[in-house]
Structure 1
Amino acid sequence: MALYAAAAAVLEGVESRQGSIKGLVYGSRFQNVKQLYALVCETQRYSAVLDAVIASAGLLRAEKKLRPHVAKVLVYELLLGRGFRGGGGRWKPLLARHQARLKAELARLKVHRGVSRNEDLLEVGSRPGPALQVPRFVRVNALKTCADDVIDYFKRQGFSYEGRASSLEDLRSLKGKHFLLDPLLPELLVFPAHTDLHEHPLYQAGHLILQDKASCLPAMLLAPPPGSHVIDACAAPGNKTSHLAALLKNQGKIFAFDLDEKRLASMATLLARAGVSCCELAEKDFLAVSPSDQRYRQVQYILLDPSCSGSGMLTRQLEEPGAGAPSKKRLHALAGFQQRALCHALAFPSLRRLVYSTCSLCQEENEDVVQDALQKSPGTFRLVPVLPSWPHRGLGTFPGAEHCLRASPETTLTGGFFIAVLEREEVSSSVSQTEALGPELTPSPAPKRKQQQRKLAAGASTPPCT
């Protein structure tokens, strides 16, 4: 019964906007997160169908002690799932009393809608679509291991390594137990869509970070050299922070801020698992951090990934089936905060380079925010033209907006994302470090084995490069 209680609690939390499905699942401390996540997503996907069946059968009227979200999870298992894999506990005999009626109401709903399969009861927007078929990107955590050893480890597990990808088509055609090295990021492995590595020993030991390719770009484009002082302004859940630490080789300082106590606690766990030792976490609003504070006098790099509508997130299609665009009122409020945060970040006196990113598709949160900040600091910062061959550019809403990057499942086989790199004018006369990352997306050589590099014994179960 613990499975169903946990699933009901997550559904209730999502409905009351306490967090996302993934965040609530991982914050639940339920032992089998894969099982819990799958059950919650499927129950949510069939939510409207289950509501209709439960209402028609009068289940909640007949069983007044049965909470609505628990009922929804149990009825999903009874009618559409695997039949009480979590045991069912005291609710199993209760549901058995109503089983015939519930099945009859489901059959009646199919007849009414003129369909024969359960899947056909879903609205078009609730069905898994092409956007969910992006590859599984896995970042090798350079603080703990190296790409060569991880590749060897997977090969010993029966995976087939196909080298560095040369095109998006290579990524799109991945199937089975085949994987590739990303053509752009030297420590990013690419597996077929829906490859689940949450229980893999390398992930659990912090050697791998499950992170979408678009989400890896902000830290890569900020490119702080080891020894730098960096601010991660809105840091949780921490994947980008751990990426920054890897780029810094744990040398220097990351000041990471976030207001959400629970997300910050989860982030601390993630960073500890990843071996990050150069980060100082603070439960604090970035807007309340003074640019004149002497603690930040050496900060030359800022990563700003503020709260946004999340309209580009692939998991949103599972968590909010059929969800439309965010309302104008919500976009206005979000954009106002984003504009304040970006202008505040640009006020740090030693700042040389900043990356602004969102997982939003909305112009109001992306190009409009960047344009507003540039207009408020004329001649101080400029947009850096990065990754010239990246296929999806910023909307042409103002001169230079094409220097921004966008990402989407259709054009880049990633989640929806927006990235802008701003650099102080006085340091822009020479070729910037971020621009050096861009020429024609020429791939760097695939990882090569060094003679002195420690090799894993064939078939070893210990994670590499500890």
Structure 2
Amino acid sequence: MQRPKTKRRNSFPPELAKTPKPLGMKKAKKSVEENGGKLRGADRSAYFARREAAKILRVVLEGDAKRRASASIKSLIYQPSVRNKKATFALLCETLKHLPIIKDVLEAASILNTKWKRQQELVYIIVYDILFGQAVPLVGDAEKYLMRHEGALRSALKQLLSQRNVKTVKQLIALHEVPDVSVPRYVRVNTLKLDVDSALFELQKNYSVQKDNLLPELLILPPGTDLHDHPLVKNGSIFMQGKASSMAAPALRPQPGWEVIDACAAPGNKTIHLAALMMSRGKIIACELKKERVKRLKDTIKLSGASNIQVLNEDFLNINPKDPSYSKVNAILLDPSCSGSGTAASRLDHLLPSRTAGQDTDMERLNKLASFQRKALQHALLFPALERIVYSTCSINQIENEDVIKSVLPIAESHGFHLAKPFPEWQCRGLPVFEGSECLIRTDPAKHGEGFFIALFARKDAISSESSNKNKTTILHSTPGIKDEQRKKKRIPFISTNPFKMWLYDQLM
């Protein structure tokens, strides 16, 4: 993990004694005093990065302890309120990576009183920097307190190495480490602001880029490509979105002029993708229950430039399908809360304590999620003018995917819907647990970088009507007799006092 170029500290074991020694307390204090007691440059950046990382670490650890879906580490880092994103991201990930060791060291050192236990996330961050990271200046009460116990921390680390029968910190980390998964960087071109070829031209100035063979607006860059500060990302011309996630909106195939509901919209990537496919014509109702996520949704919409989206701070289940306001809804995109098991790698979930402890499967939670998902899908089927529904999750669990579809399918058929097959060329399909599962779409985390699931319900009479209209159009354009008859009906009379001109007009017509 890359960190800003600052003076690095070294861990305690004697085999690393050839590397530069840690900055001692006297030198750190002298450095601060020479600067008038103020932090400057890299020290200032690191100081505030620790505070920002501690806030995010608290959210991550609380969510992991309760086993509930929460924002990913990346999305928390790259929210606008975080200033020094790169330093904070690196510090947070490295602290999580070393967290089992840090906890063991703190327990063995027995240095935390009640006050500092209440700020344990900041303590974890600073202890990481003391033992494995960069020099810690003596500014800030937490830094001062922990640096006074630096000797006890290092002694506890040395003792831990001996107990685990390893010689280096790297070997100690390997006992807890889960291998990282390397996946390409996908970006989706926001065609409301920029065409695909122009985006490709701009990105190729600095990166190796190619077009995706399935989605025309998707571009592929090498794994690890950091575009968060790229001008095209900042102005909303491109959005960083995985391939599987980018398949949901095109599977729905919303038409310009339609009314569409995005039932669980935040953070809004799929919402604005719908707007681009509809060329900002028609209407999109973006539902989001949680107020804090509504702000994120509105920010995404504003950045995209979409003009046909109405944000509704409401539970989708509370919307009355019989309300005249929703009598013209043609399509619904339902991407409900799920376990997120398919995006564990990209979400960096392998760094979470529950994953490293092998506690990543919680059947009680999965059953509750599946119950909500079934209820939401059944509710979506009640809208009277509905033609298409896409149900999608970023989960690899059958209980959230095939089992939900199988249980709702009889109800869907009673409302005139059947399973349609989006992206016929896509090979990875649903698990063969019921007839019709070959219509479902799956993506494989090992093969495609993330696990995703998509099901498309289409109303039978709407499909028939659409096919009939296409056939009529084909007949009209291919049958000379009908074409001539239509032309005669639309013929505009030609009036002239010149007999020759009138005769010539008749011959031409």
**Would you call these one fold, judging by a TM-score over 0.5?**
yes
1:207 touches 1:274 (CA, 8 Å); kept in 2?
Answer: yes
Amino acid in the other structure paired with 1:180:
Q
Mapped partners of 2:155, 2:267: distance in 1: 44
For residue 114 of structure 1, report the CA deviation from its aligned partner.
2.5
Q: What SS does the corresponding residue of 1:122 show, helix, strand or coil?
A: helix
Flag structure 2 segments of 5+ consecutive residues without an equivalent.
Answer: 1-46, 64-69, 468-509
The structure whose RCO (Cα within 8 Å, separation 6+) is larger is 1
Following superposition, the deviation at residue 64 of structure 1 comes to: 4.5
Give the C-alpha shift of residue 296 in structure 1.
1.5
User: One-letter code of the match for 1:21?
Assistant: I
- Residues 100 and 176 of structure 2 are in contact (CA less than 8 Å); yes or no, is this contact kept in structure 1? no
Which residue of structure 1 aligns with residue 103 of structure 2? 51
Question: Within 2, Cα distance between the matches of 1:27 and 1:16?
Answer: 19
Moved more, 213-222 or 93-102: 93-102
CA distance in 2 between counterparts of 1:301 and 1:284 reads 18
Greater share of residues in helix: 2
Q: CA deviation at 1:116?
A: 3.3
1:402-427 per-position Cα deviation (integer Å, ceiling 9, x unaligned): 2111112223x231111111101212
Instruction: Give 1:193 shift.
Output: 1.2
Moved more, 366-375 or 146-155: 146-155
Aligned to 1:245, the other structure's residue is in SS state: helix
Q: C-alpha root-mean-square deviation of aligned residues, in Å? A: 2.2
Structure 2 counterpart SS, 1:46 = helix
Q: Is the 8 A contact 1:234 1:257 kept in 2?
A: yes
Post-superposition Cα deviations, 1:155-210, rounded to whole Å, max 9, x if no partner, equal 33x33xxxxxxxxxxxxxxxxxx221111111111111111111111101111101
User: Is the 1:238–1:270 Cα contact (8 Å) retained in structure 2?
Assistant: yes
* 1:25 matched to 2:83: no
Q: Contact 1:6 / 1:28 at 8 angstroms: preserved in 2? A: no
Describe the shift of the 1:230–1:94 C-alpha distance in structure 2 as closer, same or farther (beyond 3 A): same
Would you say 1:120 and 2:171 are equivalent positions?
yes
Change in Cα spacing, 1:221 to 1:303, as seen in structure 2 (3 Å) is: same
* Paired AA for residue 390 in structure 2: V
Note if 1:328 corresponds to 2:363.
yes
Higher mean C-alpha displacement, 387-396 vs 233-242: 387-396
Partner of 1:75: 127
- Indicate which of 186, 197, 205 corresponds to 1:137: 186
Deviates more, 1:343-352 or 1:25-34: 25-34
Q: Does 1:258 align with 2:325?
A: no
Instruction: Give the partner amino acid of 1:310.
Output: G
Q: What TM-score results when the alignment is normalised by the length of structure 1? A: 0.83
Specify whether residues 140 and 83 from structure 1 end up closer, same or farther in structure 2 by C-alpha distance, changes over 3 A only.
farther
**Which deviations, in whole Å up to 9, do the C-alpha atoms of 1:272-292 show, x marking residues without a partner?**
011111100011000000111
In structure 1, the residue corresponding to 2:367 is in which secondary structure?
helix
- In the alignment, which of 438, 442, 445 is matched to residue 402 of structure 1? 438
Choose the corresponding residue for 1:6, options 28, 33, 52: 52
What residue number does 2:421 align with?
385
CA distance in 2, matches of 1:391, 1:124: 37
Paired with 2:132 and 2:96, the residues of 1 have a C-alpha distance of 12
After superposition, the Cα gap between the structure-2 partners of 1:399 and 1:431, relative to the gap in structure 1 and judged at 3 Å, is farther
CA contact (8 A) 1:226 1:249 kept: yes
Q: Is the 8 A contact 1:355 1:422 kept in 2?
A: yes
Residues 350 and 52 (structure 1), Cα distance of their counterparts in 2 relative to 1, 3 Å cut = same
Segments of structure 1 that go 5 or more residues without pairing to the other structure are 160-177, 433-466
> Which has the larger displacement, 72-81 or 342-351?
72-81
- 1:420-431 to structure 2, matched below 5 A, reads 420-429=455-464
Q: How many angstroms does 1:430 deviate by? A: 7.3
1:107 maps to: 158
Structure 2 distance, partners of 1:125, 1:188, is 36
The answer to whether 1:318 aligns with 2:351 is: yes
Deviations along 1:256-309, one digit per CA (max 9) or x if unpaired, are: 101111111011011101111110001100000011111221111110000011
Aligned-partner Cα distance in 1 for 2:434–2:398: 12
Count of residues in Structure 1 that have an aligned counterpart in Structure 2:
409
* Correspondence list, 1:58-457, <5 A: 58-61=110-113, 64=116, 67-84=119-136, 89-122=140-173, 126-129=177-180, 132-156=181-205, 158-159=206-207, 178-313=208-343, 314=345, 315=347, 316-319=349-352, 321-322=355-356, 324-379=359-414, 380-411=416-447, 413-429=448-464
Residues 87 and 249 of structure 1: CA distance in aligned 2, closer, same or farther (over 3 Å)? farther
Contact 1:34–1:198 at 8 Å: present in 2 too?
no
Tell me which amino acid in the other structure corresponds to 2:238.
L
SS at match of 1:312: helix
CA contact (8 A) 2:105 2:157 kept: yes
Q: Which amino acid aligns with 1:153?
A: E
Cα deviation, residue 43, structure 1: 1.2
For residues 191 and 284 of structure 2, the distance between their equivalents in structure 1, rounded to whole angstroms, comes to 17
Q: Quick one: which amino acid aligns to residue 318 of structure 1? A: L
Letter of the 1:46 counterpart: H
Following superposition, the deviation at residue 95 of structure 1 comes to 2.9
Q: Please tell me whether the aligned partners of residues 20 and 319 of structure 1 are also in contact (alpha carbons under 8 angstroms).
A: no
Deviations 1:305-353 (A, max 9, x none): 0001111112122345435443221111111100000000011111111
1:51 deviation in Å?
A: 0.4
Shift of the 272–389 alpha-carbon distance from structure 1 to 2, 3 Å rule, reads same
In 2, distance between residues paired with 1:7 and 1:404?
40
Partner Cα distance (2:112, 2:252) in 1: 54
Q: Measured at CA, do residues 309 and 104 of structure 1 come closer, stay the same or move farther in structure 2, by a change above 3 Å?
A: same
Q: Write the distance in 2 (CA, Å) between the matches of 1:51 and 1:206.
A: 41
2:244 partner SS: helix
Question: Which string of whole-angstrom CA distances, capped at 9 and with x for unpartnered residues, describes residues 55-85 of structure 1?
Answer: 111231497487211110001112222334x
